[in-house]
Structure 1
Amino acid sequence: MKPADWLKENALLIGLILVSLLIPLLVWNQVPETLPTHWNAAGEPDAYGSKAEALLIMPGVVLFVNLLFWLIPVLDPKKNVPKFQPILRIMQVVMTVFFLALQGLMVADALGYGVRMDLLVPIGVSLLLLVIGNYFGKLRPNYFIGIRTPWTLESPEIWIKTHRLAGRIWVIGSLMLIVLRLVLGGPSFFGIFITVVLLMSFFPIGYSFYLYKNQAPK
């Protein structure tokens, strides 16, 4: 692909990255020298860092995530990426927007706006999982994105069946998490959140093994 075509195709992502890099410059002189870098389940800061650390960590994450997505087609030995390139691009944009939004929350809190991190972050993560899960069924075998077990990577059929089920589980689980967070307080919700996310992650893995053990002999 020609550089001009690549730039045109990735204009939105490049714009989002530039916004992420620009934010620290805009607020650098408006925030204290020490800022929160982590919040507990009650939304209270429980870790602090320098201004540079707090303001630059998220632009670094945004840049790293996009570099990884751009390298996937080159690094994936299965060379299946062209089969789901539009889905990969959607996931790249969604993850970039998520981390940029998280950066915005951290900066807003640093500016003294009293952001409800205990409410907004879990809902944001749940929305991210919901969107990713919605596209799981359209992924094809690769070593970077999806439920990558020995059984899904070995069999395209097991991969497709596993990801169709995983997609439904992730969408339902994410919707449930959003509703529960709106009902329950942060500390009460935290244990439920971890449990549901673990189930969303490990059930499809177990299902892929079940399909492998019960597939028709070759």
Structure 2
Amino acid sequence: MAQAVIIAMFAVGIMSWSSVPAQVPIHWDAAGQIDAYGSKFTGLLLLPIIALAGYTLIGLTAVFSPAQFQGRAMGALSWFRLAYVLVMAGVFGVIVADVRGANLNMNYVIFPLLAVMMIAIGNLLVQTNKNKSAKTLPPGGGIQA
């Protein structure tokens, strides 16, 4: 699913390219209001590129540390990758909506998505910690008779 979201981000960015102004919103203040603008590249293509790079790097953690990401920990890593991509897609969606005339408050989008990401991080930490704990027990699970 995360791959489909990334592909959709690129597709929307490319399809929107000719119809958006040269300057697009790229930053919001604490109140969720736009406080900085950037180029079309920054607003429409850089975020999908960052989403793809982050998705790839997060996935590589399982390659570099396979013992830590076995069983449920691998599933938790997949959920974390999806949550990361959804956060990026949420920001991207607000940018695209704004350049198309909508006036969205970023806080209404980003805070729920960050909450989902925090849950995914907590789950990932619990699952990887379970794998770590299982490997440090002595033979017999540490139970003495």
Partner of 2:19: 30
Gaps of 5+ in 2: 135-145
What is the Cα-based RMSD across aligned positions, in Å?
2.3
Following the alignment from structure 1 to structure 2, what is the Cα–Cα distance between the partners of residues 34 and 136?
A: 40
Map residues 194-209 of structure 1 onto 2, 5 A cutoff.
Answer: none
* CA-CA distance at 1:98 after TM superposition: 2.4
Structure scoring higher RCO (CA < 8 A, sep ≥ 6) equals 2
- Unmatched segments (≥5 aa) in structure 1: 1-11, 143-154, 158-218
Match of 1:122 in 2: 111
- 1:107 matches 2:96: yes
**Partner deviation per Cα, 1:72-93 (whole Å, 9 max, x = no partner):** 12222x7321242111112112
SS of residue matched to 1:48 = strand
CA distance in 1, matches of 2:42, 2:124: 34
* Alpha-carbon offset, residue 140 of structure 1: 3.1
Q: TM-score, normalised by structure 2?
A: 0.78
Stretches of 4+ moved more than 6 A in 1?
none
Tell me how many residue pairs correspond in the alignment. 133
Structure 1 position 110, deviation (Å): 1.7
**Which residue pairs with 2:70 in the alignment?**
82
Secondary structure of residue in 1 paired with 2:27: strand
Partner of 1:97: 86
Residues 130-209 of structure 1 aligned to structure 2 (within 5 Å)? 130-140=119-129, 156=133
Contact 2:27 2:37 (8 Å CA) reproduced: yes
Does 1:50 pair with 2:53? no
Report if aligned partners of 1:35, 1:49 keep a CA contact under 8 Å in 2: yes
Tell me the TM-score normalized by structure 1: 0.54
Give the Cα separation in 2 of the matches to 1:136 and 1:70.
15
